[in-house]
């Protein structure tokens, strides 16, 4: 009994007899005598990947001439990455030790090996190709083999290879192979940064519970030095600000703190300068934003301030009364010894009285008004 197979123009096929390899068939029409129906056929598109690795290894070992005739067989060494190009377009990045076979087709394939022992960064030409994914008509496979480090402006990147710090990366984009090593890039902001230590409840020396908020500005002076000495520089700064604040408040009384509020800033600044010396960090400025007293202490202090202000007001009032009495006494002495000044004072008083009266009736003429309205008896000799 005959069995017919048709292989299309854009296909390849492997003919199996009872599950064993028999032949590779190119496009065409085939007829075989197969009374027991033991022949089977598996087809692939021309130019596609030969996905049956077991059969591909068997063909390489037993039919190398067939492999050379029908496949683009590509392989890489243990220390090589591969750049797979199809018609001079990069389509895939292959890991070390990879071996792939593609059925031959109309498209040209080539594999460019890259020795990973000599370099960690990608070649500049390859980096330029990876920076323009939008210009491709198909996605690039195997991009997880590459780490893209994009460093923004005013930042630096700490390059770590297998957990070890290697160097600083300037702002820009750089690509690294991650096939033979664990590669990480940690971003660091080199600008002046702010930090707040809020809601710190601390007892003063005289056992008054205060809630204090502190703000500080800090900056890196040496990024590598800071990360070599400290695992988390920001956590270290925050903790030392807490320690400095507690030491400054806990050794002073409430009155000392209220009389000189700048003392806290000075003491904490000195503490931070000592603790950050040689660590590649600096605190530019800091200050206590708020000192919050408990409710009963607020009431007591309000009463104290009110009493102080009332006492000050009494002193000022008595001082003014004394000054006014002294002025009146001096005026009386002047008028006693000078009749003209006394007369002027009488006329001034008359003017003030007249300003408050809408209508005045005069009897006896103006002289009566001037001489008889106000009469101050003279002192008897």
Residues in the chain with pLDDT values less than 70: 132-138, 294-307, 309-310, 342-343, 346, 350, 358-381
What are the boundaries of each domain within the chain? 119-189, 193-293
> Residue 239: its pLDDT value, please?
95
How far is residue 31 from each of residues 28, 103, 278, measured CA to CA in Å? 10, 23, 85
Determine the distance from the C-alpha atom of residue 275 to the mean position of all C-alpha atoms in its chain, rounded to a whole number: 23
Strand partners, 157: 169, 187
Task: Please provide the DSSP assignment of 299-347 as one string.
Answer: HHHHHHHHHHHHHHHHHHHHHHHHHHHHHHHHHHHHHHH-HHHHHHHHH
> Residue 381: its pLDDT value, please?
46
Which burial class, exposed, middle or buried, applies to 201 when counting CB atoms under 10 A from its CB (0-12, 13-18, 19+)? exposed
Task: Please provide the DSSP assignment of 41-105 as one string.
Answer: EEEEETTSB---HHHHHHHHHH-HHHHHHHEEEEE--TTEEEEEEETTEEEEEEPTT-EEEEE--
Q: Pseudo-torsion of CA 97, 103, 105, 108, nearest 10°?
A: 10
pTM of the model: 0.62
CA–CA separation, 27 vs 44, rounded Å? 11
- CA neighbor of 24 nearest in space, from 59, 53, 49, 48: 59
CATH H-level, domain 193-293: superfamily: Band 7 domain (3.30.479.30)
Cβ(215)–Cβ(283) below 8 Å: no
Q: Which residue has the tokens 């460019």?
A: 112
Q: Which two tokens stand for residue 195?
A: 């930090």
CA–CA separation, 21 vs 149, rounded Å? 49
> Residue 123: its pLDDT value, please?
81
């Amino acid at each position: 009994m005959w069995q017919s197979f048709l292989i299309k123009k854009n296909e390849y096929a492997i003919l199996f007899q009872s599950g064993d390899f028999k032949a590779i068939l190119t496009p065409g029409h085939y007829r075989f005598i197969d009374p027991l129906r033991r022949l089977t056929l598996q087809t692939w598109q021309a130019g596609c990947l030969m996905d049956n690795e077991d059969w591909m290894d068997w063909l390489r070992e037993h039919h190398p001439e067939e492999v050379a005739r029908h496949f683009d067989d590509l392989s890489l060494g243990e220390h090589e990455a591969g750049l797979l190009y199809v018609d001079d377009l990069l389509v895939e990045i292959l890991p070390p030790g990879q071996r792939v076979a593609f059925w031959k087709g109309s498209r040209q394939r080539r594999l460019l090996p890259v020795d990973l022992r000599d370099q960690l960064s990608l070649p500049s030409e390859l980096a330029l190709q990876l920076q323009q994914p939008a210009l491709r008509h198909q996605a690039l496979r195997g991009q997880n083999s590459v780490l893209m480090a994009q460093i923004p402006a005013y930042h630096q990147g700490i390059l770590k290879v297998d957990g070890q710090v290697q160097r600083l990366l300037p702002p820009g984009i750089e690509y690294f192979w991650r096939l033979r090593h664990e590669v990480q890039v940690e971003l660091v902001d080199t600008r002046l940064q702010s930090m707040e230590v809020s809601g710190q409840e601390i007892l003063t020396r005289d056992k008054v519970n205060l809630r204090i908020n502190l703000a500080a500005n800090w900056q890196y002076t040496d990024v590598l030095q800071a990360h070599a000495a400290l695992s988390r520089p920001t956590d270290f700064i925050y903790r030392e600000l807490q320690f400095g604040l507690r030491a400054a408040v806990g050794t002073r009384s409430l009155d000392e703190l209220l009389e000189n509020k700048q003392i806290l800033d000075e003491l904490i600044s000195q503490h931070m300068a000592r603790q950050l010396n040689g660590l590649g960090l600096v605190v530019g400025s800091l200050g206590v934003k708020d000192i919050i007293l408990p409710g009963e202490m607020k009431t007591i202090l309000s009463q104290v301030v009110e009493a102080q202000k009332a006492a000050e007001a009494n002193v000022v009032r008595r001082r003014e009364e004394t000054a006014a009495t002294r002025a009146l006494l001096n005026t009386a002495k002047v008028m006693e010894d000078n009749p003209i000044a006394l007369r002027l004072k009488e006329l001034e008083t008359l003017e003030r009285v007249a300003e408050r009266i809408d209508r005045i009736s005069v009897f006896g003429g103006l002289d009566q008004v001037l001489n008889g309205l106000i009469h101050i008896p003279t002192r008897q000799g």
